[in-house]
Amino acid sequence: DAGITQSPRHKVTETGTPVTLRCHQTENHRYMYWYRQDPGHGLRLIHYSYGVKDTDKGEVSDGYSVSRSKTEDFLLTLESATSSQTSVYFCAISEQGTGANVLTFGAGSRLTVL
Amino acid sequence: AQSVTQLDSHVSVSEGTPVLLRCNYSSSYSPSLFWYVQHPNKGLQLLLKYTSAATLVKGINGFEAEFKKSETSFHLTKPSAHMSDAAEYFCVVSGGGTYKYIFGTGTRLKVLA
C-alpha cells in the first residue's frame, strides 16, 4: 500500500474505552486524512492534516480527535468509543492539497465497539 | 460546495458485456474528478483521474471515463467486463482550493459468468 501503514488492522473494544489508530507514511507527503467507511455512506472525512500540528475537521468529526506531531504520523483517537463508531477506518495521503492530486490509501483498520 | 451522486448502488453485468457506472457531480469550481475501486476487504485503488486536461480519461484495466461539463457527469465505462472487475467503485470530486475529497456512496459491480 505505497508507503502507508495503518495499525492496528483489527481491533475489538468495549463502549467507553479510548482507542487510538495510527497512520504512518514513508512518502513525506504533507497532507493526511482519516476517513470512515460505512455501508451506504461511502467514505466520509473525519479529520485531515495539512502539516505538522495543522489539522482541521471533516464532516463527521464529533467524537474524534487527531494529532500530528511528525510529518510521518497521523493519529486518530476515540476518547470514549461508542457502538456508532464501529466502522472501517482508512488513512490517506496526498502530496499536495490542491485537489488535483491523487489520494493514496492505507489498507484500513476495522474497529468493532461492543 | 461540492457533492457527488452515484446513480446506481448496484450494477450487474454478464462477463464480456459493457460496463457503465454513472456519476454526477456538483461543484462551484472547476472540479478534479476521480474513480477509485475497492475489491473485497481491500483498500482503495485509483482507477483514473480528470484534472481539466483531456475530457476522455483512460485508466487502468481498460476503464475510461468522460467528463461532460454540460451534463455535470463523469461516467465510468469499460467495453467488456471481466470477472475480476467485481468490486465497489467510488466517484470522487475535489478542487476549488479545498483540501477535501468528497466521495460518492459507491456502486457495487457484480459480474455474472
Give pLDDT < 70 ranges for chain B. Answer: 96-98
- According to the model, what pLDDT value does residue A99 have? 57
CB nearest to B103's CB, from A43, A50, A108: A43
Is residue A1 over pLDDT 60? no
Contact status, residue A18 vs residue A79, Cβ threshold 8 Å: yes
Average pLDDT over residues A87-92: 97
- Enumerate the residues of chain A whose CB falls inside 8 A of the CB of residue B35: none
- Enumerate the residues of chain B whose CB falls inside 8 A of the CB of residue A40: 9, 105
- According to the model, what pLDDT value does residue B75 have? 98
Q: What percent of chain A has pLDDT over 90?
A: 82
Q: Is A88 on the interface with B (CB under 8 A)?
A: no
- According to the model, what pLDDT value does residue A100 have? 66
Contact status, residue A95 vs residue A77, Cβ threshold 8 Å: no
Range from A1-10, A29-38, A57-66 carrying the lowest mean pLDDT: A1-10
Average pLDDT over residues A95-110: 82
The shortest C-alpha distance from B18 to chain A (Å) reads: 24
Indicate yes or no: CB of A100 within 8 angstroms of CB of B46.
Answer: no
CB nearest to A99's CB, from B32, B42, B104: B32
Average pLDDT, chain A: 92
- According to the model, what pLDDT value does residue A40 have? 85
Question: What are the tens digits of pLDDT across the range B22-37?
Answer: 999 998 778 889 999 9
Of B96, B95, B102, B89, whose CA–CA distance to B20 is shortest?
B89
* Bridge partners of residue B57, in order along the sequence: B65
Q: What percent of chain A has pLDDT over 70?
A: 95
Question: DSSP letters along A13-24, please?
Answer: E-TT--EEEEEE
Indicate yes or no: CB of A42 within 8 angstroms of CB of B105.
Answer: yes
- According to the model, what pLDDT value does residue B61 have? 94
Question: What are the tens digits of pLDDT across the range A42-88?
Answer: 899 999 999 999 999 998 999 999 999 999 999 999 999 999 999 99
Is residue A89 over pLDDT 80? yes
Cβ neighbour number for residue B12 with a 10 Å cutoff: 12
Q: How confident is the model at residue A96 (pLDDT cuts 50, 70, 90)?
A: confident
